[in-house]
Structure 1
Amino acid sequence: MSTNEASRLDRTALIFGASGITGWAIVREAVQYPTPETFRRIIGLTNRPFDRNTSLLPDDNRIELVAGLDLSAGPEAVTAKLREVPGIEEVTDVFFAAYVQPPGTSDVEGWEQLKLANVDILETAVAAVESVSPNMRYWSLQTGGKAYGFAHAREIGPPAGPCHESDARIPQPYADMMFYYAQHDALVRLSSGKKWRFAEIRPNDVVGFVPTGSNAMNIAQSLGIFLAFYAWQKRKAAKSASEPITVQFPGPVASFKALNTETSQKTLARGHLFASSHDAANGDIINVADTASTSWAQKWTALCAYFGLVGLAPDEGAEHLRAVEFMQAHQAQWADFERENGLKPGLIGGSGWEFMQIILELVVFDRVYDLSKANSAGFKEKEDIVQMYLEVFDLMKATKMLPQK
């Protein structure tokens, strides 16, 4: 990736998945990064309705949200929908943060359908944008740490790390199960001989906020709701209001101590925008993450303190707390918790408990990124990851996803 920033005027950004954890952040950051003048227009596309008034996006008239764009409808339908957007032909930079997960699919079960669906929506999006936006010059694809084999660590072993963009793909048959590879290969094919280029932005666990509250792979949201509910439930049972409430880390010691290079949604969004403004080679892969790798052991006390809890480490050799089991055991109280605190009804049931369980209980190995490639290109955006969690919790309070007290 070259350090020479592309100097281009009249750039228009098009963001697929603008209501998601990455797409929302890209819309938010594009009004100011790399500069406040970089983009003349910022168009956010969503499938589901997305209320501009409750989106918590900046009050900037360059932002336009377009709902009802269903990428599974096929190229003709998506092209027709895009043609309805005034000035769609001016689009220069596309940021693809859309994802679908058909029922019953995962990285292991039903992976063929998962891969087919996600490659299909990407190819549909490219075909549609090429039809309506002759000035397209850049396409940004988001993948993630599973490209380094994290999801298949039990079978192939965890990567030695730190994970570098030049690392070989994981071995077969697991490589075939990885739709990130298939998406990358599709863009190599689709961009061949064209005037546009693409880059693959590769974060690890994304710490962020989603104003709709509907994001299955959002560790900050599910963890925040768990800690808030745990504190509420335990205070009800406490003999004294001043009695300190402790909460053990809901995972094994190995997970508590494992190092992880997390990615805040702010840094991730800026990584996408940085790559679009620099002369990366076509098909370049770029790791994007925040400060030096941390462990839950380094974060747990501060995250718990936000909710008035005393965070404890798991006991060596003892059965650890299981967050999902705790939530399920107290399901009868979910509605009371939401009602008493004025929260969105159904919030708990719609959160990504399975993803939280994977992150807290099953990831017992280091997941460390090498960030030298992005750093050497001039991308030095970094955030304090604990502070990013706390900012997400603040936003969740503001949108009635967490109690005010």
Structure 2
Amino acid sequence: MSLFTRFIPNAKTIVSVPDSKALDSLRKAVTVIDDLAPKLEFIHLQYGTFIYGTCFAEDFYMPVPLSEGLPPLRKPWADRLPYFNLSRWMDEFSRGKPWKWCETRPDDIIGFLPRPNGYNVAYPIAMFLSLYAYINGKGAQCPFPGSFGVWKALSNDAGADMIAKSAIHLSLSSNLLANGEGFNVASSSTPWSWEMKWPVICTWFGLEGIPPVDRERSETETPGPDEYIRNHEEEYKRMVKEYGLKGWKVASPSMDGSENWGLTKLNFDRQVDLRKTIATGYTDEESNAETWIRALERMRSAKVIP
């Protein structure tokens, strides 16, 4: 049984234990599952690399590669995330139960859901590149719409399919796991930067991906995906109508309320160490290119992008 517990904080978010919606939701779900499933063997929770503080871009201090054995995130940042309270409750509730549980820690999740999703990292970029190619034509050069710091920063994308496979593997390997362990998950143990990803993704759209136009660490003069689409609203509407697209709202995820946060503020290396997960016997990998292209192909098949 897998439960999704990803949490999006912002600059003003403070999570208190008794009032936490995440904790209340988890408590209700797990209690019901425990009551109704007498043969329950395992519960998998999905957290994310926020547990290492990656969402607090200006204050990130953890050494890389990020490993599960690092000391817990320090206060006050830990108090602004629900994960530690969730784990404490799970530890207490599971004590003496016949089942075990674990949590996994993907970084950016690259996947596709056939409905609007405000947490979708890939969709705003895919729609931006679709519109850019529609306006400028195939073969046009497309500068990276983010900061130079993000362009260079290393990370490990996590494809939705690869997350599912690793979760299934861990759930079926409970005899090898201690209760309540955390595991990093990703498509590949080899980290990529946008410098490596951007040309590959742009090529899929018939474009030539080139570096950002400026060399600022945390900002850029280039409009981000959301702003670019707003600036070309008429062309966007025309493209949606011409290709019969769903025309979902484009809103890139932001952790502090600023626009284009992911492509400007995540300017630090945050690659993960997968050795603990691999040690359980899970060795499946795919390239970051495969992860992105699969998500893009599914968007195209669903008439989300042309």
Q: TM-score, normalised by structure 2?
A: 0.90
Which of 137, 161, 165 is the matching residue for 1:266? 161
- The answer (yes or no) to whether the contact 1:250–1:360 under 8 Å persists in 2 is yes
Instruction: State the AA in 1 paired with 2:22.
Output: N
Which of 96, 102, 123 is the matching residue for 2:3? 96
1:174 aligns to 2:77 (yes or no) = yes
**Which aligned pairs between 1:230-379 and structure 2 lie closer than 5 A?**
230-235=132-137, 244-278=139-173, 279=175, 280-291=177-188, 292-317=190-215, 319-323=220-224, 324-344=226-246, 346-347=247-248, 349=249, 351-355=250-254, 357-379=260-282
Instruction: Rate the CA distance shift 1:354–1:141 in 2: closer, same or farther, 3 A.
Output: closer
Which of 29, 51, 65 is the matching residue for 1:125? 29
CA distance in 1, matches of 2:30, 2:151: 41
CA distance in 1, matches of 2:305, 2:45: 32
Shift of 1:98: 5.3
Instruction: State the AA in 2 paired with 1:209.
Output: F
Instruction: State the AA in 2 paired with 1:254.
Output: G
Q: Give the length in aligned residue pairs.
A: 294
Shift of 1:307: 0.9
- The answer (yes or no) to whether the contact 1:162–1:369 under 8 Å persists in 2 is yes
- The answer (yes or no) to whether the contact 1:108–1:177 under 8 Å persists in 2 is no
CA distance in 2, matches of 1:180, 1:305: 38
Note the residue ranges of structure 2 that are not aligned, 5 or more in a row. Answer: none
Q: Radius of gyration: which is bigger? A: 1
Shift of 1:369: 0.6
SS across alignment from 1:247: strand
CA distance in 2, matches of 1:307, 1:337: 14
- The answer (yes or no) to whether the contact 2:213–2:222 under 8 Å persists in 1 is no
Alignment correspondent of 2:41: 137
Instruction: State the AA in 2 paired with 1:150.
Output: T
Shift of 1:219: 1.6
Instruction: State the AA in 2 paired with 1:321.
Output: T
Shift of 1:99: 5.3
**Which aligned pairs between 1:162-241 and structure 2 lie closer than 5 A?**
162-212=65-115, 214-235=116-137
Instruction: Rate the CA distance shift 1:327–1:354 in 2: closer, same or farther, 3 A.
Output: farther
SS across alignment from 1:140: strand
Q: TM-score, normalised by structure 1?
A: 0.69
CA distance in 1, matches of 2:227, 2:215: 19
Instruction: State the AA in 2 paired with 1:221.
Output: Y
Shift of 1:234: 2.7
Query: Percent identity among equivalent residues?
Result: 27
SS across alignment from 2:32: helix
Shift of 1:273: 0.5
Q: List structure 1 runs of 4+ shifted beyond 4 angstroms.
A: 98-101
Instruction: Rate the CA distance shift 1:303–1:139 in 2: closer, same or farther, 3 A.
Output: same
CA distance in 1, matches of 2:213, 2:112: 31
CA distance in 1, matches of 2:35, 2:27: 12
Considering Cα pairs closer than 8 Å and 6+ residues apart, tell me whether 1 or 2 has the greater RCO. 2
